[in-house]
Structure 1
């Protein structure tokens, strides 16, 4: 005969089962609420895809003596493929772009993911959208000798990601119709950026327009097309990269 379980054994089993159900439910919720790329973004094929990143490059980028790598942290719950449009444009201009793949599409789950592509012998610039920018700036703060610049897309650093002492070029791009970005915190966060930081505003753009995916909850209505915002992102970043050489 099977031995009867004691009350504490049954209690522990119940707690364990409940824990598993909560975790499974949480993962399911995150996956269901993840923003997926548009058909336009999905149709673009990276040069290389691994379990850790998507790589965009070009012959011009590969022939450049001083290789520049843009290492990108996607926004929270946004599929990495959503950023392929502007990534491809920047790669065509002579730069390599790595779009990182994050656990559950959350940068907070892998704040040091840039380690997988970091090359100390090349010029590494971190880029981050929304929450991805917060995590990227923390990485830059902790690795000052390895990072040559930082780009924020509708994002800003917190105190742990302060770049005031890093002495690196910084570009901050926002959009006039963005209602997801906390504009009050964004203004305060300028205290964590060097005085030489460059600020650009895309008129008519919104938060979701920094990628190419469905409308984001709480966002403002863009008055320019996603294609136009993608072009502007690419143009601004390319111009800035040329200026800081």
Structure 2
């Protein structure tokens, strides 16, 4: 059967449309492919008699025997949240209820209000919100707009909005070897941080060292071991929480 020009046109048109749609799906999957957690991170999500870890509607929660405060944590962009379990477990073992938030497409900007669900579960605790990289940006937006948040923890991040008029206690924790957040970028955005922000730099730590997910595009190699990096991030974050979270 001989095809008319009309039929040929539509065959070419729909064939091109199908090719374009397939290319877009492939590109989107490639671009949005997340960094998966290391096995050590999954092990850190297991419960013990001293620390309960359970899945929730918002992600996971680490519940110590007696919590003296809470930390709701947003993961970095395109990083599966489980990757932060090793550091967050260390914080929970020191007496803090820690909520590890799961967000759509592994992008915290898709669910900026997710921390509310975690705080509503334990409203009597003093709460901080925090996050890594893009998660830290979202945490700063949340902390600035939700009354009752007592402190802000930003790992390798700077605020999107100008928070300089706020007195919110803030920890800006940075890695010396970070290849994605340069000292120049931090200096450029320093005026946006809350006025009493504490800036701390961890020697030898890179951008990916805050979690357990391996090398990240654009990052520098770390000169600090993985376990030592996790210990140092947890220690400095705990010191900040101990000083700023006060029971009502």
TM-score of the pair, normalised by structure 1: 0.84
In structure 1, the residue matched to 2:218 is: 218
Q: CA deviation at 1:27?
A: 4.4
User: CA offsets per residue over residues 33-89 of structure 1, 9 Å max, x none?
Assistant: 31111111121225111342111121032xx4xxx2211111111010100111111
**Greater shift in the superposed pair: 105-114 or 213-222:** 105-114
Q: Does 1:146 align with 2:152?
A: no
* CA–CA separation in structure 2 for the residues paired with 1:148 and 1:189: 22
In structure 2, the residue matched to 1:42 is: 42
Structure 2 vs 1, CA of residues 23 and 224 (structure 1 numbering), >3 Å: closer, same or farther? same
For residue 118 of structure 1, give the secondary structure of its aligned residue in structure 2.
helix
Q: Does 1:54 align with 2:56?
A: no
**Greater shift in the superposed pair: 116-125 or 234-243:** 116-125
In structure 2, the residue matched to 1:227 is: 227
Q: CA deviation at 1:116?
A: 2.1
In structure 2, the residue matched to 1:157 is: 159
* CA–CA separation in structure 2 for the residues paired with 1:136 and 1:14: 45
Structure 2 vs 1, CA of residues 77 and 225 (structure 1 numbering), >3 Å: closer, same or farther? same
Q: CA deviation at 1:19?
A: 7.5
In structure 2, the residue matched to 1:123 is: 126
Structure 2 vs 1, CA of residues 17 and 45 (structure 1 numbering), >3 Å: closer, same or farther? same
In structure 2, the residue matched to 1:96 is: 97
Aligned 8 A contact 1:176 1:203 in 2 = yes
Q: CA deviation at 1:28?
A: 2.0
Q: CA deviation at 1:232?
A: 0.3
How many residue pairs match? The answer is 232
Spell out the pairing of 1:103-122 with structure 2 (5 A cutoff).
103-119=104-120, 120-122=123-125
**Greater shift in the superposed pair: 108-117 or 82-91:** 108-117
Q: Which runs of 5+ in 1 are unaligned?
A: none
TM-score of the pair, normalised by structure 2: 0.83
**Greater shift in the superposed pair: 171-180 or 16-25:** 16-25
* CA–CA separation in structure 2 for the residues paired with 1:12 and 1:115: 48
* CA–CA separation in structure 2 for the residues paired with 1:153 and 1:215: 17
In structure 2, the residue matched to 1:185 is: 185
Q: CA deviation at 1:240?
A: 1.1
User: CA offsets per residue over residues 103-122 of structure 1, 9 Å max, x none?
Assistant: 11011222222222233543
Aligned 8 A contact 2:74 2:135 in 1 = yes
Q: Does 1:196 align with 2:196?
A: yes
In structure 1, the residue matched to 2:74 is: 73
* CA–CA separation in structure 2 for the residues paired with 1:108 and 1:192: 19
For residue 137 of structure 2, give the secondary structure of its aligned residue in structure 1.
helix
User: CA offsets per residue over residues 1-50 of structure 1, 9 Å max, x none?
Assistant: xxxx99xx99997898577546633442245x311111111212251113
For residue 35 of structure 1, give the secondary structure of its aligned residue in structure 2.
coil
In structure 2, the residue matched to 1:242 is: 242
User: CA offsets per residue over residues 117-137 of structure 1, 9 Å max, x none?
Assistant: 233543221101011111111
Aligned 8 A contact 1:41 1:212 in 2 = yes
